[in-house]
Structure 1
Amino acid sequence: MAEPLGSAARPLRVAIIGAGPAGFYAAEALLKQANLNLSIDFFNRFPTPFGLVREGVAPDHQSIKAVTRIYDRIASDPRVRYFGNVTFGVDLMHEDLKPFYDQIIYAVGAQTDRRMNIPGEDLVGSYPATAFVGWYNGHPDYRDYEFDLGTECVVVIGNGNVAMDVTRILVTDPDELAKTDIADHALAALRASKVREVVMLGRRGPAQAAFTNAELKEFGELEDVQVALDPAELQLDPDSEAALAEDKIAAKNV
């Protein structure tokens, strides 16, 4: 009779494609299973793990990046191995893995930007947030990008935390950014930046704002930065009032 899968004689062999938060939390859930013998192999496109925690979190938010301590603990488990510089679909195919693994978990993330479908979206000087965030974090795919910071006014379309991060990085004193782990090339460009005004343009009202109050509060703590709000934009229409009545968290934020 064949030994059951996950037994000492027949360990469960798991491959995880991608080494960001989703991949590590999937690994953690498996490792916590009682009486389950297994091995886990990570395959990642980049030499370093942790995905968007390393390459998507703003450099001045070190407390958020501290979550990598959990991932370090998972990676140090003797049942876990890590293979970097392996591009799935190029260096490794699904068919290559099937003979060697019982389960394959795809945790490759979502790198495609949400398009706005408005005129001028693809004009020179219009950039997706993914590229700008990757640029100042030193993401291998974006570190060679060049952004025109020679204008005095920049418009950031969006009212979520990423829009807040982009805006804050543009207006923060470079000497303060130098205390973070921002990429050297980005710091040099921001030191030479001529940007003096950043307009955050939300397509919806305050009831639908996707940023957190903590992100908004940070602007009040920046030196030599003034935040200007148009009171008329804070007026709630009937649809917004109805939305807040059903969403206690949004109502609290407003």
Structure 2
Amino acid sequence: MACFVPFNSRNLEISLFAFRPMVVVVDELMEALKHFSLCTESLGCVHSAIFRSIHGNMIMWYGAWWKRSNENKDTLNATLLPMLGDVSRMAILIDHNFFDAYAGESRDGSPAAKFFTGDTISMGAVLLSRSNIDDLSYACLAIFRSRFAKMEGAVSGVCLKSQTLARTVSIFVWKSLQLCYSWILTSDRRSEVLPYLDKDQLSLDVKYDVFRVVYVSSDSAMRYQLNPSPKLLENGVEGRKVM
């Protein structure tokens, strides 16, 4: 099953957690993040995923949540951070935020950017020290619309805006890593962003990275169905699932 990023925030909102590993072998860290994903389901996380930077030293945790009030979101944040205890032994949490999706496109007409384990994803973030988030999001939307049709190999893309900062994030799902590289080598995101922004806006911070999707929450459900526990087998649950 696919994980997805919706093209609007009508029902869901997005959270992104960025980690910098402190260990060389990240297998245990990945398992801790997968466990974290499973625990968030009881808190209203519809689905989640883990992205690992292909060339850099960063791991992103993605979660799509049922919308909630700001007060409930503060309570959720206060609950989530202590749940990262095992992860904090192996990685530094360098950033986390909630985002609203406000635009997107897909080649097949889907209302969301869908991705599976093994897919290639590129993410670009724009942060201004002084800006109105609406002005920034309109500028990034104009850039997105002017570029997506020309991005050969991009399956879908979505624009996100931070709920607390003057920051936008764009996420693109690619047919292959090679096509993603081809686009990156022939484009200059910073020079494309600047013409859409007020010249008085200084301290423009543009970041870009390419990730491999290493886990989506549906993987755990599939593994559960394919490898049921001995106790379930004793109770005949496996047979009922097959039926």
Where on the TM-score scale, by shorter chain, does this alignment land: which range?
under 0.3
**Relative contact order, CA 8 A, sep 6+: which one is greater?**
2
Q: Which has the higher strand share?
A: 2
Larger radius of gyration: 1
Relative to the length of structure 2, the TM-score reads 0.27
